[in-house]
Amino acid sequence: MISNSFYKLAAIVNQQMHLDPLTGDVYIFFNRRATHIKLLQWQQDGFAIYYKRLEKGTFEIPKPGGVQSSLTSTQLMLILQGIQMDKVQYRRRYFRQSADH
């Protein structure tokens, strides 16, 4: 999956994940060995891809490890920086819930 290009990755998002690749969400793809990562995002005028290949080590693939998971931008940054998510301890902060809740 990692060797796929813009439109092939967008087709995977649409046909296999049953999601709209044009929403602006970031879709994450790993190779089998978790040494390569691609991020696909639709921006106003076209698709953008961020691609990273590790010279040593692996990326942490989020649990439950299924085909599809949701991540926060903070979790994505931890993955890209090589920080183990289960070792991260967040300090308590104020969080205002939206009026919808």
Residue 38 within any structural domain of the chain: yes
Residue 21 within any structural domain of the chain: yes
Residue 68 — very low, low, confident or very high, per pLDDT cuts 50/70/90?
Answer: low
Distance CA 89, CA 3 (A): 35
Residue 78 within any structural domain of the chain: yes
Query: How big is the chain, counted in residues?
Result: 101
Residue 97 within any structural domain of the chain: no
Non-local CB neighbours of 22 within 8 Å, separated by 6+ positions: 42
Per mean pLDDT, which of 2-11, 51-60, 69-78 is the most reliable?
Answer: 51-60
Instruction: State the total domains in the chain.
Output: 1
Query: What would the pLDDT profile of 30-39 be if each residue is shown by its tens digit?
Result: 999 999 999 9
Greater pLDDT, 65 or 8 = 8
Boundaries of domain holding 14: 6-86
Residue 1 within any structural domain of the chain: no
pTM: 0.76
The answer to whether residues 78 and 88 touch, using CB atoms and an 8 Å cutoff, is yes
Give the tokens for residue 54: 């590790």
Q: Is the pLDDT of residue 101 over 60?
A: no
pLDDT given at position 66: 58
Residue 100 within any structural domain of the chain: no
Residue 68 within any structural domain of the chain: yes
Residue 66 within any structural domain of the chain: yes
Nearest alpha-carbon partner for 49 in 83, 11, 7: 7
Give the tokens for residue 95: 């969080």
